[in-house]
Amino acid sequence: MEYLKKTFRWFGPDFGVSLAEIKQLGVEGIVTACQTVPLGEVWSLDTIATLKSEIESHGMEWSVVESVNIHTSIKYGYDDRDDYIEKYIQTIKNLAANGIYDVCYNFMQLIDWTRTDLDFELPTGASALKYNPIAAAAFDLFILARENARESYSSEIYLAAKTYFDELDGTQRQKLEDAILAGMPGSRKLIALDAFKSNHAKVLKISKKQLQENLSYFLNAIIPQAEKLGVRLAIHPDDPPFSVFGVPRIVSNYEEIKFLLECCPSPSNGVTFCSGSLGASSKNDLVRIIEDFGDKIHFIHLRNVSCSLDGSFYEADHLTGSVPIDEVMKAIVRQQKMRYDNEKGVVRIPMRPDHGHVLLDDKKRQNDFYSGYSLIGRAIGLAQLSGLEMGIRSGLQIS
């Protein structure tokens, strides 16, 4: 039985990690997107073909698209959403015409992920991404200054956030703001605070139920077309998997995944299993999610997080942390075995290591790549995960 397909995320020629460097890691596939196309617009056949050709010139394939981002009009249910859905469908058609059939996307509001520290120093001297709920509350209360934000927090959290904020100097406050407004992988440009506030005010008016209905509307428009083309859509979980700045989450746990899969049943309607995003909540049973929804997992992100009782977490080494990564890998391999035995589904599920530490020579060029996407840290993660997979297959006597 074939192993997981080893892939690596790349953000294009302007990204500080080159295809030539990635090729040396022995990966088969690249995970990328047409970064230069404006949000919501169609990816042309030529644009896709040019990028695919560049990847193939380095002896690798374009395995997964991450991401065909979804326009705000679709997420928020605006009157022009059907226009953007039609453009999304055309992009999927153009990808399929170029032989690309796996598409990762997310339905997160505001930003793709939220961290409060992009350069958290570990005892080893390496650095990682970190989320601190007190720092996030301080941003919400005193920088974003969300209306009625005070009511969202207990007196204890409010006082802790105020103390935290009051002790920051101007440079530290700016660093916190920048960390949160940098949550758009694929861009070095920070979201402007005024734009963030404006978008935030809009989404606060939309209920969780309405956001779920908007996701259902999108899926029921897109998935039938994707199924005809053989395209597999894989939604990425919300990161972190709990409300931030008063905004509800709709893809953060078992029940929410169940909803999105059942609202539009299809082999093309699937998920990106991200052990780090889902693992940041102790309420999520990752093995159960794999066992119950395994046939709908089209793409895998593997990373680990070290979580504390206060709700904070940082990106840990891929093999150590709060996520039982060995049990997660066992469940994935068992899912592959079922697909192989039943001759149903893709056995070589694309997998990539996620968010790597910044260490060694990458520290000299960390301003060249995007936060979380260093070369060496992710290379170590890929090596660790490959060894783990091999060991588990041997233990389960699955070759």
Q: Is 354 a catalytic residue?
A: yes
Across 286-290, 344-348, 362-366, which has the greatest mean pLDDT?
Answer: 286-290
Q: How confident is the model at residue 183 (pLDDT cuts 50, 70, 90)?
A: low
Q: pLDDT by residue (tens digit) across 208-241?
A: 999 999 999 999 999 999 999 999 999 999 999 9
Supply the pLDDT for residue 49: 98
Residue 200 bears catalytic tag: no
301 included as an active-site residue = yes
Of 104, 274, 307, 314, which one is the catalytic site residue? 274
Cis previous bond, 240, omega within 30: yes
Strand partners of residue 272: 299
Rounded to a whole number, what is the distance in angstroms from the first to the last CA of the chain? 6
Q: How confident is the model at residue 321 (pLDDT cuts 50, 70, 90)?
A: very high
Which one of 102, 317, 354, 362 is the catalytic residue?
Answer: 354
pLDDT-derived band of residue 203, with 50, 70 and 90 as boundaries?
very high
User: Annotated catalytic, 236?
Assistant: yes
Whether 31 and 377 have beta carbons less than 8 Å apart is answered as no
Instruction: For residue 57, give the amino acid letter.
Output: S
Tokens of 176: 């916190």
pLDDT at 109 over 90: no
Q: Specify whether the CB–CB gap between 64 and 350 falls below 8 A.
A: yes
295-315: b (≥16 Cβ within 10 Å) or e: ebbbbbbbbbbbbeeebbbbb
Instruction: Report in angstroms the alpha-carbon separations of 43 from 39, 40, 80, 94.
Output: 10, 9, 19, 7
Out of 236, 298, 318, 357, the active site residue is 236
Q: Which of 71, 301, 318, 357 is catalytic?
A: 301
Residue 184: pLDDT over 80: no
C-alpha dist (Å) from residue 383 to 125, 309, 390 = 20, 30, 11
Give the model's confidence band at 16: pLDDT under 50 very low, under 70 low, under 90 confident, else very high. Answer: confident
Which residue in 131, 314, 370, 373 is the catalytic one? 373
Confidence class of residue 398 from pLDDT cuts 50, 70 and 90?
A: confident
Nearest alpha carbon to residue 301 among 252, 344, 237: 237
CA–CA distance, 378 with 162 (Å, rounded to integer): 36
Structure tokens belonging to residue 208: 């969780």
- Reported as half-sphere exposure (CB side, CA atoms, 13 A), residue 49 has a value of 7
264 is catalytic: no
pTM over cut 0.75: yes
The pLDDT value recorded for residue 15 is: 86
Residue 186 confidence (pLDDT): 61
Active site residue 71: no
The rounded distance, in Å, linking the Cα atoms of 101 and 231 is 4
Catalytic residue chosen out of the listed positions 71, 200, 355, 357 = 355
pLDDT at site 371: 82
List 307's β-bridge partners, or say none.
313
